[in-house]
C-alpha cells in the first residue's frame, strides 16, 4: 500500500518537474515584453473601470498613458488631478490640471410643471421611448423619466426622484465619467465645471421650441426671451434656437440671470438663501430700492471673491 | 391547400368591422396640414409661400432627390403658413398649412368617375407620370413607387405582385378598393406591368375576403396575364418578403430587395393611385382610410384628402368613444399610437384604430421563460428574445451578427409572448442603432 503512494508521489513529482521545465522554456520563447510602467500607472489609477476616460478600462488607459508622450488629452475623471499627478510622476511627464466637473440634469419639467398629455406603456427605457415618439408631455425635448441615466451610473450618483419624475445628481458621488451623458437620448445631461462649494447656475431646460409653444408645454421652460443673455456681465450666456446656454467656464456665479429669468428656467444650486423681495413686508417704493441695493453690492462682492 | 409563407406567423382576431361599409367621401376639412416628408427618403422642398392661392392637385413641394416624392395640395385655398407641427411620430415636422376655400382642381385633372382603359404602352412615360404624381407605397411603408419601378442595373423584374392581403386586423381599406374600384385597379395593374415590362401579375388576397377574390377572378377571367392568388389567412402575409414566398415560393435573401428574386410588390391602393395619375392626371392627394374600433359608433372607410386632421375622421365616425384607450395610426399589429388627434392623415395612413381602454393596456413585463414562442412565430427566422437582450445590453455587434436588420417589425413576437415582454420595442431600438453603425461604416 505504502509503495503505491510512494510511486504515485514520485511519478507526479516527475511530471510536475518536467512540466515546469517545459513551461519555463515556452515562457522564455514566447515572452512578450510589457512596459513595467503600465503596471505602475495602473496601480496609481482608481481601478473603477468606468470608461469615463474614453478607454475600455483602467488597464487600457494605463497603456495609453505610457504610449503617449503628452498627457494633455488623457484624464481620469474618477481620480482627478491628484491621480493624474501620480501618473505623471511615474512617467516623468507633466500632468495637465483640469477643473473638476459634475453632471447636471438640464430639465426641470416635473409632473407639476409639465403636465402629461398622453400615457406611455411601452418598454421602460428612455432609448426605446425616444425611438418611438416624442414623449408623454407636450415637450419633445424633456426628460422621459425611465431612468436610463440612473441605470448607466456606476457610482450610485444618480437617483430618480419619484415626486418630480426627474433624475437627481448626488454631487459628492458624481465623478463626471459621462456615462449618463451617453445614455440620455435627449442629451439632457451635461458635465459642467464644479463651482466653489459645489455652487452652480445653469439653464435647466433644453426646449428649442418658440417661446409660446415652450411655455404652453412646460411652466419652467426656457422661452428664449434673451433677458439673461442681456443681463450677463461676463458674456457667459449664448442664445441658440430659442434656448439660453450658460458657459460654466465663463460664468462667475453672480446670479443676475437667475433673478431675470421670467420662467425660473435658470437654476442656482448650493447658494445661501437670498432675501426674497416678495417676502418683505410692503414698504414704500423708495425704501424697497434701498433694500435691494445692499444685496446687489453683496453679490458684487461675492463676484470679486470668485474672481480671485 | 391554400398557399401561404412557411416560416412563423400568427393569426390575431381579424375584427374587420368595416368590411361591408362602402367607401364614403369625407367632407372637406376647414384646413389641412400637409407635411413635406410623408415618404421614405429626402423630404420635399416647399414651392409655395404664405398667402399663395393653391388649387387641389397643384404641386406644392418638389421631390428632394431620387428617393423622394412630390407633394401636391389636396385642397384649394390659401397657404396660411409653412411651419412645424407634430405628425404621427409626435415630433414637429415641416409642413404646409392650407385654409380650405371651395373645391377647385388644378387644370388638366379629370375628377370624373369615367373609366379610361386605353393607354400608351411606354414604360418611361408611365414612370415619369408616377414620379410626377408623388406616388408612394400606400400599404404603409411609403417607399416612392417610381424607384421600385426602376430596377437597379443587372436586375430585371419577372413579375408584378399586387398586395391585396391586408393581413392587419381591423383594416379594410384595400378590401373596399378591390370591391369598388376593381376595373380601375386592373388598369392600374396593367400600367404597372407595362412600366416594369413584365408579362405576369399576381394579386395576392387572403381567404377572409372571398367576395374580393371572386370579384377580381371574374374580371380577370379573360386575361391570362393577371392571376388572382387566394392565400391562407396568416399575419404578416402582407409583408413584401412573405407575400413573395407565399405566391411564388421564392425567398428573398437576407439584406436583399425583392427585385433580387425578380419580383416587384405594390399595394392595391398604389395600383389605384397609378391608374388615377396616368389615366386621369390626378396626383396622389387622397386615399382610402379605415376608421374603426370596437367602440366606434360607425366604423367606416373614408376617401380622405391628405392633410385632414385625424379628429375629422373620428367625428365623422361618430366621435371619440368614452372608453377610448389608444388611437392608433395603422393597424393594431404594426400601427403607431398617436399622441394627439390634430395630426394629419398622410400618404401612409391606412387606418385609424381606436382601441378600448381595457384592450389597449399593455401588461407588466415579466421574466422570459424561454418558451421560444417568439422564435416559432418570427416570419424572418430570427431569435427575437436574443435580439431583445443584446439590444438592451447594447451589444450591437452581436445584434448585427444575428441579422437584426432583417427584422420587418411585424410585432408577432411581442404579440405572442406569454411574459408580455416588449420584444419589438427593444429590437426596433437595436435596429436603429445597428443601422446607423452600418451607414457610418459605409461613409
pLDDT tens digits, A145-167:
999 999 999 899 999 999 999 99
Where do the domains of chain B lie, and which CATH numbers do they carry? 1-26+110-361 (3.40.50.11540), 373-442 (no CATH)
Q: Which residues of A touch B392 (CB under 8 A)?
A: 125
Inter-chain CB proximity B425 and A128 less than 8 Å = yes
**What's the pLDDT tens digit per position in B125-183?**
999 999 999 999 998 889 999 999 998 888 899 999 999 999 999 999 999 999 999 99
Q: What are phi and psi of A159, to 5 degrees?
A: -135, 150
Give the lowest-confidence range in A76-85, B232-241, B264-273, B338-347: A76-85
User: Which residues of A fall within a CB distance of 8 Å from B340?
Assistant: 117-118
Portion of chain A with pLDDT greater than 90, in percent: 41
Is the confidence at residue B327, as pLDDT, over 50? yes
Q: Searching chain A, which residue's CA lies closest to the CA of residue B421? A: A123
Looking at residue A239, its pLDDT comes to: 93
Task: Select, from the ranges A193-202, A274-283, B182-191, the one with the highest average predicted confidence (pLDDT).
Answer: B182-191
Could you tell me if B14 and B237 are in contact, meaning their C-beta atoms sit under 8 angstroms apart?
no
pLDDT tens for B282-306 read 999 999 999 999 999 999 999 999 9
Residue A279: which pLDDT band, with cuts at 50, 70 and 90?
low
Q: Which of B328, B338, B339 is the mutation pick for testing A, counting most A CBs within 10 A?
A: B339
Question: What percentage of residues in chain A have a pLDDT greater than 70?
Answer: 89
What's the gap in Å between the CA of A165 and the closest CA on chain B? 19
Which whole number is the average pLDDT over B423-436?
93
pLDDT tens track for A15-70: 999 999 999 999 999 988 888 889 999 999 988 888 888 898 899 999 998 888 88
In this complex, do A122 and B432 lie within 8 Å of one another by their Cβ atoms? no
Decide if A124 and B365 are in contact by the 8 Å CB cutoff: yes
Q: Which 3 state secondary structure label does DSSP give A292? A: helix
Query: Do residues B399 and B387 lie in contact, with contact meaning Cβ atoms separated by under 8 Å?
Result: yes
Residues of each domain in chain A carrying CATH 3.30.70.20: 103-271
Q: Please compute the mean of the pLDDT values over residues A277-284 and round it to a whole number.
A: 51
Least reliable range by pLDDT among A191-195, B98-102, B352-356, B430-434: A191-195
User: Is the pLDDT assigned to residue A132 strictly greater than 90?
Assistant: no
pLDDT for residue B17 is more than 70: yes
pLDDT score of A303 more than 50? no
The overall average pLDDT reported for chain A is: 85
* Res. B87: pLDDT tops 90: no
Write down the pLDDT at residue B42: 92
Of the pLDDT bands very low, low, confident and very high (cuts 50, 70, 90), residue A275 is low
| Annotation: CATH topology of A36-91 | 3-methyladenine DNA Glycosylase II; Chain A, domain 3 (1.10.15)
pLDDT class of A134 with cuts at 50, 70, 90: confident
Residue A287: band (very low, low, confident or very high) from pLDDT cuts 50, 70, 90? very low
Q: Which residues of A touch B86 (CB under 8 A)?
A: 134
Q: Is the pLDDT of residue A298 over 50?
A: no
Query: Residue B442 corresponds to which cell in the numbers above?
Result: 459605409
pLDDT of residue A293: 41
C-beta separation of A134 from A117 below 8 A? no
pLDDT-derived band at A93 (thresholds 50, 70, 90) equals confident
Chain A residue nearest residue B360, CA to CA: A121
Which of A123, A134, A140 lies closest to B426 in CB terms?
A: A123
pLDDT of residue A284: 47
SS (H, E, C) chain B: CCECCCCCCECCCCCCCCCCCCEEECCCCCEEEEECCCCCCCCCEECCCCCCEECECCEEEECCCCCCCCEECCCCEEEEEEEEEECCCCCEEEEEEEEECCCCECCCCCCCCCCCCCCCCCHHHHHHHHHHCCCECCCCCCCEHHHHCCCCCCCCCCEEEEEECCCCCCCCHHHHHHHHCHHHHHHHHHHHHHHHCCCCEEEEEECCCHHHHHHHHHHCCCCCCEEEEEECCCECCCCHHHHHHHHHCCCCCCCCCHHHHCEEEEEHHHHHHHHHHHHCCCCCCEEEEEEECCCCCCCEEEEEECCCEHHHHHHHCCCCCCCEEEEEECCCCCCEECCCCCCECCCCCCEEEEEEHHHHCCCCCCCCCCCCHHHHHCCCCCCHHHHHHHHHCCCHHHHHHCCHHHCCCCCHHHHHCCCCCCHHHHHHHHHHHHHHHHHHHHC
Nearest-neighbour CA in chain B from A133: distance (Å): 5
Task: Indicate whether A285 pLDDT > 80.
Answer: no
Q: Is pLDDT of A302 > 60?
A: no
- Least Cα separation, residue B442 to chain A (angstroms): 23
Supply the pLDDT for residue A122. 84
Judged by average pLDDT, the poorest of A260-264, B86-90, B233-237 is B86-90
pTM: 0.83
Chain B CB within 8 Å of residue A131 CB: yes
Query: Is the model's pLDDT at B40 over the cut of 70?
Result: yes
List residues of chain B with CB under 8 Å from any CB of chain A: 86, 89-92, 336-337, 339-340, 361-362, 365, 392, 422, 425-426, 428-429, 432
Of A123, A127, A133, the CB nearest to B90: A133
CB B339 to CB A132 under 8 A? no
Residue A283 has pLDDT above 70, yes or no: no
Question: A290: pLDDT confidence band, cut at 50, 70 and 90?
Answer: very low
Listed in order, the ranges of chain A carrying CATH 1.10.15 are 36-91
Domain A103-271, architecture per CATH: 2-Layer Sandwich (3.30)
pLDDT-derived band of residue B120, with 50, 70 and 90 as boundaries?
confident
**Candidates B329, B337, B407, partner chain A, best to mutate (most A CBs within 10 A):** B337
In this predicted structure, the answer to whether residue A278 has a pLDDT above a threshold of 80 is no
Whether residue A281 is predicted with pLDDT greater than 70 in this model: the reply is: no
Range A195-224 average pLDDT: 90
The mean pLDDT value for A106-130 works out to 89
Amino acid at each position: 500500500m505504502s509503495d503505491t503512494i510512494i510511486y504515485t508521489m514520485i511519478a507526479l513529482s516527475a511530471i510536475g518537474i518536467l512540466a515546469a521545465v517545459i513551461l519555463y522554456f515556452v515562457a522564455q520563447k514566447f515572452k512578450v515584453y510589457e512596459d513595467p510602467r503600465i503596471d505602475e500607472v495602473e496601480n496609481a489609477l482608481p481601478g473603477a473601470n468606468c470608461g469615463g476616460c474614453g478607454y475600455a478600462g483602467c488597464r487600457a488607459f494605463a497603456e495609453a498613458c505610457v504610449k503617449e508622450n503628452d498627457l494633455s488629452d488623457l484624464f481620469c475623471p474618477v481620480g482627478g488631478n491628484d491621480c493624474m499627478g501620480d501618473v505623471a510622476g511615474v512617467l516623468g511627464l507633466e500632468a495637465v490640471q483640469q477643473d473638476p466637473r459634475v453632471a447636471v440634469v438640464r430639465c426641470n419639467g416635473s409632473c407639476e410643471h409639465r403636465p402629461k398629455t398622453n400615457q406611455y406603456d411601452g418598454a421602460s427605457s428612455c432609448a426605446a421611448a425616444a425611438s418611438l415618439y416624442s414623449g408623454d408631455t407636450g415637450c419633445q425635448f424633456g426628460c422621459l423619466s425611465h431612468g436610463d441615466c440612473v441605470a448607466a451610473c456606476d457610482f450610485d450618483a444618480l437617483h430618480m426622484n419619484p415626486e418630480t419624475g426627474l433624475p437627481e445628481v448626488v454631487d459628492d458621488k458624481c465623478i463626471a465619467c459621462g456615462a449618463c451623458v451617453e445614455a440620455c437620448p435627449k442629451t439632457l445631461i451635461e458635465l459642467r465645471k464644479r463651482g466653489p462649494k459645489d455652487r452652480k447656475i445653469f439653464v435647466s431646460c433644453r426646449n428649442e421650441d418658440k417661446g409660446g409653444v415652450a411655455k404652453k408645454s412646460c411652466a419652467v421652460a426656457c422661452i428664449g426671451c434673451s433677458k439673461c443673455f442681456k443681463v450677463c456681465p461676463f458674456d457667459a450666456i449664448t442664445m441658440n434656437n430659442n434656448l439660453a446656454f450658460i458657459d460654466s467656464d465663463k460664468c462667475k456665479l453672480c446670479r443676475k440671470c437667475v433673478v431675470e429669468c421670467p420662467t425660473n428656467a435658470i437654476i442656482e444650486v448650493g447658494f445661501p438663501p437670498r432675501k426674497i423681495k416678495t417676502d418683505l413686508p410692503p414698504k414704500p417704493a423708495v425704501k424697497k430700492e434701498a433694500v435691494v441695493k445692499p444685496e446687489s453690492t453683496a453679490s458684487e462682492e461675492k463676484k470679486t471673491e470668485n474672481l480671485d | 391547400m391554400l398557399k401561404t409563407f412557411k416560416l412563423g406567423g400568427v393569426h390575431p382576431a381579424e375584427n374587420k368591422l368595416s368590411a361591408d361599409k362602402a367607401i364614403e367621401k369625407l367632407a372637406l376639412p376647414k384646413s389641412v396640414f400637409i407635411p413635406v416628408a410623408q415618404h421614405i427618403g429626402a423630404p420635399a422642398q416647399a414651392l409655395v409661400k404664405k398667402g399663395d392661392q393653391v388649387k387641389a392637385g397643384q404641386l406644392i413641394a418638389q421631390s428632394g432627390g431620387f428617393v423622394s416624392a412630390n407633394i401636391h395640395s389636396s385642397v384649394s385655398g390659401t397657404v396660411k403658413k409653412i411651419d412645424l407641427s407634430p405628425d404621427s411620430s409626435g415630433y414637429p415636422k415641416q409642413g404646409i398649412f392650407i385654409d380650405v376655400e371651395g373645391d377647385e382642381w388644378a387644370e388638366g385633372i379629370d375628377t370624373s368617375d369615367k373609366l379610361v382603359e386605353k393607354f400608351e404602352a411606354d414604360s418611361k412615360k408611365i414612370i415619369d407620370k408616377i414620379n410626377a404624381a408623388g406616388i408612394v407605397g400606400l400599404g404603409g411603408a411609403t417607399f416612392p413607387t417610381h424607384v421600385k419601378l426602376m430596377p437597379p442595373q443587372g436586375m430585371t423584374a419577372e413579375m408584378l405582385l399586387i398586395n391585396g392581403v391586408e393581413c392587419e386586423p381591423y383594416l379594410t381599406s384595400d378590401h373596399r378598393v378591390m370591391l369598388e374600384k376593381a376595373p380601375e385597379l386592373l388598369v392600374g395593374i396593367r400600367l404597372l406591368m407595362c412600366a416594369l415590362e413584365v408579362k405576369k401579375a399576381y394579386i395576392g388576397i387572403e381567404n377572409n375576403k372571398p367576395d374580393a377574390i371572386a370579384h377580381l377572378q371574374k374580371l380577370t377571367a379573360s386575361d391570362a396575364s393577371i392571376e388572382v392568388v387566394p392565400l391562407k389567412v396568416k399575419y404578416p402575409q402582407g409583408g413584401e418578403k412573405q407575400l413573395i414566398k407565399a405566391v411564388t415560393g421564392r425567398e428573398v435573401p437576407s439584406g436583399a430587395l425583392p427585385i433580387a428574386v425578380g419580383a416587384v410588390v405594390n399595394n392595391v391602393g398604389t395600383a389605384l393611385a397609378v391608374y388615377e395619375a396616368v389615366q386621369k392626371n390626378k396626383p396622389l392627394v387622397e386615399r382610402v382610410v379605415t376608421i374603426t374600433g370596437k367602440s366606434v359608433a360607425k366604423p367606416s372607410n373614408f376617401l380622405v384628402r391628405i392633410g385632414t386632421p385625424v379628429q375629422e375622421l373620428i367625428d365623422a365616425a361618430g366621435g371619440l368613444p368614452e372608453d377610448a384607450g389608444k388611437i392608433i395610426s395603422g393597424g393594431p399589429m404594426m400601427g403607431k399610437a398617436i399622441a394627439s388627434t390634430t395630426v394629419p392623415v398622410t400618404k401612409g395612413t391606412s387606418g385609424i384604430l381606436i382601441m378600448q381602454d381595457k384592450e389597449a393596456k399593455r401588461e407588466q413585463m415579466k421574466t422570459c421563460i424561454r418558451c421560444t414562442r417568439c422564435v416559432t412565430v418570427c416570419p424572418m427566422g430570427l431569435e427575437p428574445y436574443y435580439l431583445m437582450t443584446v439590444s438592451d445590453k447594447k451589444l450591437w455587434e452581436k445584434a448585427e451578427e444575428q441579422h437584426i436588420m432583417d427584422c420587418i417589425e411585424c410585432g408577432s413576437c411581442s404579440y405572442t409572448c406569454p411574459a408580455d415582454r416588449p420584444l419589438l420595442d427593444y429590437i426596433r431600438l437595436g435596429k436603429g442603432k445597428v443601422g446607423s453603425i452600418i451607414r457610418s461604416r459605409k461613409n
